[in-house]
Structures are given as C-alpha cells and as structure tokens.
Amino acid sequence: MASDLEQKNKKTVRALLLLVLVMFLFAVALIPLYDILCEITGINGKTRQESSILNYTIDTQREITIEFITSIGAGTGLEFKADKYQLKAHPGEVIKMTYTVRNKTNKRMFAKANPSVTPGPAVGYVKNTKCFCFATQVFEVGETRHLEVQIVVDPALPAHYKRLTFGLTFYDTTK
C-alpha cells in the first residue's frame, strides 16, 4: 500500500518535472517564435537583408512617401543624418538614400546601425536590398562617411499605406 503510493507519487513528480522542463524550453523557444511572429506581423519593425534580386514592376500609378529617420544610442558619439528627410517614390522602384555619418569623438569607433520600419504591418513589404546596417562599421577619429541604403517597396503594399518610415539607429559597439 505504502510503496504503491510511493510509486504513484514518483510518477506524478516525473510528469510534473517534465512539464517544468517543457515550460522552460518553451520560454527559450519564445525567442525564435517571437522572431517569426515579428516577421509575419512586423511587431518590432525589423527588416532583413534580401538575398535575392527583386524584380518588381514599378507601379507608376501610385506614389508613396518614404521617411528616413536617424537616431543614435546613448553614448554613441556619432553625427548621423540622412541627406534628405523624405522623398516620394513609386512602389517597385529602387529607392536610394545616402547618409552622412561623422565620428565626433577622438577614438576609433566600431558601430552598428539597426533598422526599424513603421507602421509595423507594412514591414514585410519594405525590402532592404542594400544597407550598411547589417555589418559593423569602423569609424576612424573624426572620419566622415557617406553610406548608402537601397530599399524597394513591394507593389503589393496595401493601398491605404501612403507613408512609410525607415528608421536607423547607430550604436557604439566598441569594446
């Protein structure tokens, strides 16, 4: 009788410990799951480098405004501006923007920019074909550089989007 109970308890404990493990793994799995969810829904505005060459037909009937926003993280001694705040373009067209970045500090700086697109649900339609944001950049003391970004907006972008915001934030990653 007693050993019977012990067996039952052991079984319960084993099952529950398994549940604990599953939930812990679930928490870890939330990271990739969230990334997938973000890719679908655009929650955090992250865009990715497109590997393939995109061949859209340019929709000349439609014009959208693309806004280029720049930010820097706290303690990042860079001056960082898009050469133009915004421009109008047709969906499907390759949109180029040059950014001017200056290292205002007197140290050599490693820095990386992260993109963010808003509104979120439109993120999937903004294709980043060229961006300095996917690699760490090195800025010599006082160096000024002009860096280029190319994006293409998928013509399938739902009609009610008239304005897209492409944001870049530079962070000093010097160790």
Partner 1 sequence: MSAVVAEHEHDDHHDHGPEKGFLRWIITTNHKDIGTLYLFFALAMFFVGGTMALIIRAELFEPGMQFVSPQFFNSMTTMHALVMVFGAVMPAFVGFANWQIPMMIGAPDMALPRMNNMSFWMLVAGILLLASTLFMEGGAPASGWTLYPPLVLQTGAALPFAIFAVHMLGISSIMGAINIIATIFNMRAPKMTLMKMPLFVWTWLITAFLLIAIMPVFAGAVTMLLTDRFFDTSFFDAAGGGDPVLYQHIFWFFGHPEVYVMILPTFGVASTIIPVFARKPLFGYSSMVYATAAIAFLSFIVWAHHMFTVGMPMAGELYFMYATMLIAIPTGVKIFNWTATMWQGSMTFEAPMLFSIAFVVLFTLGGFTGLMMALAPVDFQYHDTYFIVAHFHYTLVPASIFIIMAGAYFWLPKWTGNMYNERLARFHFWLSAISVNILFFPQHFLGLAGMPRRIPDYAVQFADWNMVSSVGAFIFGFSQLLFLYIVIQTIRGGTGEKVTDEVWEDAHKHGLEWTLPSPVPYHTFATPPEKIPTEHF
Partner 2 sequence: MKTKQLFAGLTLMATGLGTAQADYTLNLMEGVTSISRDVYGLHMLVLWVCVFIGIAVFGTMFYSIYYHRKSRGYKASNFHESTKVEIIWTIIPTVILILLAIPATKVMLEMDDLKDSEMSIKVTGWQWKWEYEYLDNGIHFFSSLDEASNKARQVGSGIDPRTVPNYLLEVDKPLVVPVNTKIRFLFTAADVIHSWWVPDLGWKKDTIPGYINEAWTSVEKAGTYRGQCTELCGKDHGFMPIVVIAMEKPDYEAWVAEQKGIAVANAAAADKEWSQEDLINKGESVYANNCASCHMADGAGLAGTFPAVTGSSVVTGDINAQVELMLNGKGMMPAFGQMLDPVDFAAVSTFIRNGLGNSVGDSIQPAAIKTLQAAIPAVEYDDDDE
Which residues contact partner 2 (rule: CB under 8 A)? 44-45, 67, 69, 71-77, 85-86, 102, 104-107, 114, 116-119, 132, 135, 137, 140-148, 160, 162-163, 165, 167, 169
**Cβ nearer to partner 1, comparing 18 with 141:** 18
Binding piece for partner 1, criterion CB under 8 A, among 27-35, 53-61, 79-87, 152-160: 27-35
> How far is it, in rounded angstroms, from Cα 10 to Cα 18?
12
Listed in sequence order, the residues at least 6 apart from 29 whose beta carbon sits closer than 8 Å to its beta carbon are none
**Cβ nearer to partner 1, comparing 65 with 173:** 173
With CB under 5 to 8 Å by kind, the binding choice for 143 among partner 2, partner 1, none is partner 2
Nearest residue to 92 via CA among 72, 64, 69, 130: 64
Pairing mode, strands 163-172 and 144-153:
unpaired
Which residue in the set 86, 129, 150, 169 belongs to the binding site for partner 1 (CB under 8 A)? Answer: 169
With CB under 5 to 8 Å by kind, the binding choice for 28 among partner 2, partner 1, none is partner 1
- Closest CB 6 distance from partner 2, rounded Å: 38
Nearest residue to 99 via CA among 48, 141, 139, 65: 139
Sign of the alpha-carbon torsion through 86, 171, 33, 52: positive
